[in-house]
Amino acid sequence: MSLSEYRVGLGHDRHRLVVGRPLILGGVAIEFEFGLDGHSDADVLLHAVTDAILGAAGLGDIGEWFPNTDPQWHGADSKVFLQAAVRAVQERGWSVVNLDCTIHAERPKLSVHKRTIAESIAAMLEIAADRVNVKAKTGEKVGPIGRLEAIDADAVVLLGRSV
Ligand code: MG
């Protein structure tokens, strides 16, 4: 595929860690004593990726598309948000070239899950797994990440237009 036009997008999100909720990162359920609080399934990574995709195409942010005050998104699978964003950019002639992302979590240890998460997101983006890179960082025991109060995620997406 020959590409002559590119757009880059940035995404960031944070959700609070609480008891009694599942921990879902990039569509993958991860065993942990805490989970992420939120209106939807609170998949902090998919929210950051969705924002990066929308941002790259100049389409605003996830809060405009899927307001967390809208009852229809209560408990929603965040895959729905990401796939809607992918469809929206595809309809405008864009394809996802690659995704790089970072999960900021003191615990659980994510190194064993990074590959599974990358494969999960690649399937949602309809791209090869080697075009998705997932990194994990701790909070060095300081700040809201280090105190296990929250998990953050950052994402950068490149879109390309076919010619
Ligand atoms: Mg969010």
Cα(78) to ligand 1 centroid in Å equals 9
* Whether the predicted pLDDT of 1 surpasses 80: no
- Quote the tokens at residue 15: 């959700």
Cα(91) to ligand 1 centroid in Å equals 24
Q: What is the pLDDT of residue 27?
A: 98
pLDDT tens digits for 119-146? 999 999 999 999 999 999 999 999 999 9
* Residues recorded for the chain: 163
Cα(50) to ligand 1 centroid in Å equals 10
pLDDT tens digits for 67-104? 888 888 898 999 999 999 999 999 999 999 999 999 99
Cα(69) to ligand 1 centroid in Å equals 12
Distance from C-alpha of 108 to C-alpha of 116, rounded to nearest angstrom: 15
**Pairing mode, strands 94-104 and 132-137:** parallel
- Computed over every residue of the chain, the mean pLDDT equals 95
Cα(73) to ligand 1 centroid in Å equals 12
Cα(44) to ligand 1 centroid in Å equals 5
Cα(47) to ligand 1 centroid in Å equals 5
Residues 6+ away with beta carbon under 8 Å from 109: none
**Helix (H), strand (E) at residue 18:** strand 3-18
- Classify residue 127 by burial, with Cβ atoms within 10 Å: 0-12, 13-18, 19+: middle
Cα(14) to ligand 1 centroid in Å equals 6
∠ CA 119-15-104, nearest 5°, is 55
